[in-house]
């Protein structure tokens, strides 16, 4: 049984798990020498949108388990989909053969993606969906008899995953600059932090069209660079420029897909004529249940790979677990539930509530620079008086102590609550984060009189 009041001499069950964890698990993006000191939570189980540790402490999952959870944890319908598929088969290969679960999910996905006459190439991680898109785009031009189109244009602040190809498209940061010698060169124009980003990207497309295989963007929101946001009209203009020059458009919706921004796909905000040639999906694709990703190709791209059996036009690439049947079964049920439950409409309403809560309680705080939001993706830019004061870390640690799990990107506090989050839960998250920002600001005595402190401060 859980001991509710562990004595100081005996570590709590949660602390014991942290010790066992640190002894054998190597956590990504984490300095392991400091891991245990940064108050990690080791999850024992979950209920709805709350995570529960071994001591029974509850944390609201305000980052959707790193942006993957959509409808919540232990959703009975999704649990049932996995169990039902387990009664058939867990996994069979998609290399040269098929699986009913993968076919059914691909059919359902094909009906809703903003891609013309699509085919779905499955994998298991978002980075691999991007990696596949790069290789498909590259071979597309070889197959099309125009092998001079070998370069990619990507944006400042871009993040597309951690494999070497995806890393090459990305703009570095997060301590990944040491891998620069491994990166292949790309054409890079400024990202969404620059209001003129679209004009500059379009100029580069005009100038370099003859050598460009594809333009790669995160439509609407550059997530990992701190939730930088784009104007949908600028996306539409970029799409037009790609089409005018025949350059492929790759949209990485690993983070923005499946309702996150208030549409099923963020590309939809740019209007009905914005049609990516390749669409990368991951994260929320299974509602956060199982690893699955997909590279969705338009008919234009797919048909260029038609050719004789064993011939050189074939796409020689594939992953062992791509299109895993359990993952596809839960992904199909998830897509159905998004429609059955009216999840997109709910996201619009709760995002509006979140927007006003942020305006009332967070935006005016002395420690806050800027608040950016699209749907249920939020970046709160903290403005520490001096570099190295680790405000992002400290604010998040205090929020976790208040029972709200958040994780910073540098000094940006990211909020990515599950899509089914209620207004009351939004208030709980905002209350914890606002109080934590005030506490950290007070600790560092930010009483700069030039900074107006709004009434939202308490
Ligand atoms: C998270 C992310 C990826 C990488 O996905 P993984 O599943 O972590 O490999 C790629 N692109 C974007 C935009 C992401 O947010």
Pocket of ligand 1 (CB under 6 A): 125-127, 130, 159-161, 218, 223-224, 252, 254-255, 282-283
Determine the pLDDT at residue 457.
Answer: 31
- Give CA–CA dist 223/250, Å, rounded: 16
CATH topology of domain 76-340: 3.40.640
Q: What separation in Å is there between the alpha carbon of 256 and the centre of ligand 1? A: 10
CA of 110 relative to ligand 1 center, distance in Å: 21
State the span(s) of the chain assigned CATH 3.90.1150.10: 41-71+343-443
Q: Given the CA of residue 253, which atom of ligand 1 is nearest to it?
A: 13
Pocket mutation for ligand 1, best pick of 122, 134, 226, 255 (most atoms within 8 Å of C-beta): 255
Q: Where in the chain is the domain with CATH 3.40.640.10?
A: 76-340
Q: Rounded to the nearest whole angstrom, what is the distance from the C-alpha of residue 283 to the centroid of ligand 1?
A: 7
Please tell me the predicted confidence (pLDDT) of residue 1. Answer: 43
> What residues have CB less than 8 Å from 213, skipping those under 6 apart?
137, 138, 140, 141, 149, 150, 151, 152, 247, 248
Best mutation site among 123, 282, 319, 409 for ligand 1 pocket (most ligand atoms within 8 Å of CB): 282
In this structure, which residue's CA is closest to atom 15 in ligand 1?
255
Nearest to 55 by CA among 47, 64, 45: 45
pLDDT value at residue 388: 87
Report the predicted TM-score, pTM, of the whole model to 2 decimal places: 0.95
Evaluate whether the domain defined by 41-71+343-443 bears CATH number 3.30.420.40. Answer: no
What separation in Å is there between the alpha carbon of 96 and the centre of ligand 1?
27
Q: What is the pLDDT along the chain (458 residues), one digit of tens a residue?
A: 444 454 556 789 999 999 999 999 999 999 999 999 888 999 999 999 999 999 999 999 999 999 999 999 999 999 999 999 999 999 999 999 999 999 999 999 999 999 999 999 999 999 999 999 999 999 999 999 999 999 999 999 999 999 999 999 999 887 889 999 999 999 999 999 999 999 999 999 999 999 999 999 999 999 999 999 999 999 999 999 999 999 999 999 999 999 999 999 999 999 999 999 999 999 999 999 999 999 999 999 999 999 999 999 999 999 999 999 999 999 999 999 999 999 999 999 999 999 999 999 999 999 999 999 999 999 999 999 988 899 999 999 999 999 999 999 999 999 999 999 999 999 999 999 999 999 999 999 765 544 444 333 32
């Amino acid at each position: 049984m859980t001991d509710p009041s562990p004595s100081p001499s005996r570590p709590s069950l949660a602390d014991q798990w942290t010790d066992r964890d640190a002894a054998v698990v190597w956590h990504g993006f984490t300095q392991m020498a400091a891991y245990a000191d940064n108050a990690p939570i080791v999850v024992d189980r979950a209920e709805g949108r709350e995570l529960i540790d071994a001591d029974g402490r509850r944390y609201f999952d305000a980052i959707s388990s790193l942006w993957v959870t959509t409808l919540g944890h232990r959703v009975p319908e999704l649990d049932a989909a996995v169990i039902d598929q387990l009664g058939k088969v867990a996994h069979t290969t998609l290399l040269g053969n098929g699986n009913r679960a993968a076919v059914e999910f691909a059919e359902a996905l094909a009906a809703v993606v903003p891609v013309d006459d699509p085919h779905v190439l499955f994998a298991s991680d978002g980075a691999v969906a991007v990696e596949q898109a790069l290789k498909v785009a590259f071979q597309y031009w070889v197959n099309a008899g125009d092998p001079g189109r070998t370069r990619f244009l990507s944006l400042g602040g871009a993040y597309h995953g951690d494999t070497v190809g995806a890393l090459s498209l990305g703009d570095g940061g997060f301590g990944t600059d040491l891998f620069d010698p491994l990166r292949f060169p790309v054409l890079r124009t400024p990202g969404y932090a620059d209001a003129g980003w679209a004009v500059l990207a379009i100029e580069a497309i005009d100038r370099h069209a003859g050598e460009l295989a594809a333009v790669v963007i995160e439509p609407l929101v550059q997530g990992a660079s701190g939730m930088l946001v784009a104007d949908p009209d600028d996306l539409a203009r970029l799409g037009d420029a790609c089409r005018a020059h025949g350059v492929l458009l790759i949209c990485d919706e690993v983070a923005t897909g499946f309702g996150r921004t208030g549409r099923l796909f963020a590309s939809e905000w740019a209007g009905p004529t914005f049609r990516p040639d390749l669409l990368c999906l991951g994260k929320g694709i299974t509602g956060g249940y199982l690893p699955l990703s997909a590279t969705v190709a338009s008919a234009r791209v797919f048909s260029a790979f038609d050719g004789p059996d064993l011939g050189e036009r074939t796409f020689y690439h594939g992953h062992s677990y791509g299109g895993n049947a359990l993952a596809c079964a839960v992904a199909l049920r998830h897509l159905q539930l998004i429609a059955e439950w009216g999840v997109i409409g709910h996201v619009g309403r709760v995002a509006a509530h979140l927007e006003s809560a942020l305006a009332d309680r967070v935006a005016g705080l002395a420690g806050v620079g800027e608040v950016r939001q699209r749907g249920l993706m939020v970046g709160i830019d903290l403005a520490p008086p001096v570099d190295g004061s680790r405000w992002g870390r400290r604010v998040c640690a205090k929020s976790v102590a208040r029972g709200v799990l958040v994780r910073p990107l540098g000094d940006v506090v990211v909020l990515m609550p599950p899509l089914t989050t209620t207004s009351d839960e939004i208030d709980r998250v905002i209350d914890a984060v606002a109080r934590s920002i005030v506490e950290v600001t007070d600790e560092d005595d930010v009483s700069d009189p030039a900074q107006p402190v709004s009434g939202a401060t308490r």
